[in-house]
Structures are given as structure tokens and as C-alpha cells.
Amino acid sequence: MFIKEVIPSIIKDSREENTIQIEIDTLKGKFISSAPSGKSKGEYEAPAYSSRGIHWDLRLLKIFAEKIKNKNFFIEDFEGLGELDNLIKNFENQYESLGANSTYTLQTAFLKAAAKENQKELWEFVKLKKVKPKIPMPIGNCIGGGMHSHGLPKPDFQEFLLISEETSFAKAVTKNYHAYESAKKLIKQKEKKLFLSVNDEHAWRTSLNNEDALEILNEVADKFGLKIGLDIAASTFFDSKGYYHYDNKRFAMDREEHLNYMRNLIKKYDLFYIEDLMWDNDFSGFSELNSSQKRLIVGDDLTATNAERLDMAVQGESINAMIIKPNQNGSLLEVAKIVKMCKEHKIKIIFSHRSGETMDDALADYAVGFGADYIKTGIAGKERLVKLRRIIEIEKSTRWKFLS
């Protein structure tokens, strides 16, 4: 693969914030990638950019681009990414470390180009040894709260989720969307609003409290045959004194009260999925609820797409499912290592978008190629739909291959 040129630039994400885009030009064409960005960031995720910010990363990327310009790479599979990875590490030793968004974007553009060079789709090219590709099922954010929604009042919980388990991804996406539109009508009736706005992830914004939002979610889930879940994002309303502060109802809970509240919500609403139910160092709190394989106890801020954090969760039997956000780590080789660890310990894999998204659809290919069980991308909004449509496209082109 001959690199004619590498062009780093800054573009706007779905929140109108700056993010990195990289274009790699080869003899086979132009290949573009861009990085999403999170608003609710875990304490243990890799920094998105160097300590001097995105513009400094852009400067470093332009220097690196000159170093690989007119260079030939002989890469036949995903593991061949190691050649680029070594070049990045050597560059960082000589100059300064790049942020995770920059390295992720560079590697993704490189893999897109390499896949084309090898006459493969990206999902085929990134297939891992001893890991079978699969079509994941969609997890959709229907009602929003927490840090993804602006203004007060709002639900304290960050995401109210719909989960479909159809045999067809396309049918699952359609069900989620119909339920999402049905939820809109119910929220408008409850709040007596003519118009309803959306939050950062295109979920419905509401002033309802957690339980009222759950009642609506439960109603639409029953109507369309869906399961429901929550992203509690507990660290976002946990304080250093050990209390969880519920702004919507204006009260605080200590650890045991909060844990009991989680138990009650799981039982009352038959929650299938519950993410970041405790603050991000309470591994034992997660493990107290991780006794049933009938529901997903999910780590996100807890594990932060980090192999060491995952190992701690495994040792403590804290989770049975894990969010993977590739740009949260920055190294796709490390992401592959985490995927293999999850497979080894029977932990369900959920590839996830970020609240600030772009039109790059590589996340869909990674979810399929790495054999994820679920993909969390939202239900509506062009930056979310482009990823859902990409999996529908893959499903159509590979249906008999995956069924065989």
C-alpha cells in the first residue's frame, strides 16, 4: 500500500465541537476517518488529545504525515497494523504523545485503505483470529437525561434504552424507531408540550423524573416487544463523601440506599440492561447485582475500554457485559486484546458511539468484524443512522454467509 499523502484536519462533530479528521490518499483512492468525542468521560479513559489540546495534536499529525508520505506498507491483515503502531510509538518517543482520538483516527483511515488494497470490506479485514464476525443487535437511546441533556429539570439517569433481539438487524432497528416515535407522543401528552426537542444523542429531552420516564419506556417496550435498560452514569452524580445526589427529586442516597434503589428498579421494571449503576471504583457494588445471567450488568466508566480495568472487573465478578469505545483507548490493537479477553470470560461486548459523533461509519464494521453482541448508536440523527445503515448493508450482503 503506497501512501501518496496524509491530510489531517479539524472538523465539527454533532455537538459542533472540534474533532480530528484524517484523509489518507493511496493508489486505490482516498480514505477518510474522524473521531467522536464523549461528554460524560470516564476517569480512566485515555485523554482525547495531548495536554496542549487538539490544535497541538493537529500540528504533530502534520509532522507525522510527512514521515509516512511516499512510504510503502505491506499489510495483509489486521495484525499488520502493528507496523503503523510502531511508527506512532517511535514518533511519540521523539516528539510528544498524541491523544487517543488522533491515534484512533489515524489507524482507522489506515485500515480502510489497507482493506481496499486487499479487496476486502473493513469488517472482513479486521476479523480477529479465532473470533467469528457476527451481526450485533442494536441498543437505542430513547429518552435522555444526565450530562447528555441540557437544562433543568431532567432525569438524573443518562440514557433510557430500548433493546431489540430480532433475528434481523434491520427489523430490530425498525422496531426501535417505531417505539422511539411512540415515546415522543407519550412524553408530549405527559408534559403537555406541542414540540419536543432532542439531546446530544438525539434522545428525547424531558423534565420527567427517572420513574416517570421509565413508565413511558416500559409502555412502548411492551407495545413493540422490546426489552429496556438504563445507563445510570452514577459517577456523574456521586460525590467524594460517598453520596449519590438526585437533582430531579432533590435528595441524596448513601451507598446502600442507592444499591437498594437499583435493585428495586431492576425488579419493578424488569430491566434487562443496567450500565454504570455505581460510581466507577465500586467494583464490589457492581458484583452485588451481577448474580443473574438473565440481565446485563454493564461496565462503561468502570472499565473505560482499558484492559487493566477489565481484568479488575473479571477478578471481582463485577460485570457480565462491557462497553467498548475504540477512541476511548486509542489503540485498535489494544481494543482487539480487550475483545479477546471479553470472549474468554464470556462477557457480552457492546460497541458504542459517543455523544459527539461524526459521519464516520467505521464503528459498525468494527462491531461486526470483532464479533460484538450489541452496538449502541442511538435511534435517530444522521450521525447515528449512518452506522445503523452500514450494518444493515453488511447484513444484506452477508446474510447467507452468517447463517451458514
The phi and psi torsions of 360 (rounded to 5 degrees) equal: -70, 130
Higher pLDDT, 158 or 151: 158
pLDDT given at position 294:
82
Q: What is the mean pLDDT of residues 172-186?
A: 97
Q: How confident is the model at residue 248 (pLDDT cuts 50, 70, 90)?
A: low
Q: How confident is the model at residue 404 (pLDDT cuts 50, 70, 90)?
A: very low
The average confidence (pLDDT) of the chain is 94
Higher pLDDT, 329 or 194: 329
Q: What is the mean pLDDT of residues 334-351?
A: 97
pLDDT given at position 195:
85
pLDDT given at position 29:
97
* 273-275 vs 227-231, strand pairing mode: parallel
What domains, with CATH codes, occur in the chain?
A: 3-121 (3.30.390.10), 137-403 (3.20.20.120)
* Catalytic center residues: 201, 325
Report d(CA 95, CA 90) in Å as an integer.
9
Q: Which residues contact 251 (CB under 8 A, 6 or more apart)?
A: 245
Peptide bond into 153 cis (omega under 30): yes
At 41-91, the pLDDT tens digits run 767 899 999 989 999 999 999 999 999 999 999 999 999 999 999 999 999
Q: Is pLDDT of 403 > 60?
A: no
Q: Which residues contact 388 (CB under 8 A, 6 or more apart)?
A: 138, 173, 364, 377
Global pTM reads 0.95
At 46-59, the pLDDT tens digits run 999 998 999 999 99
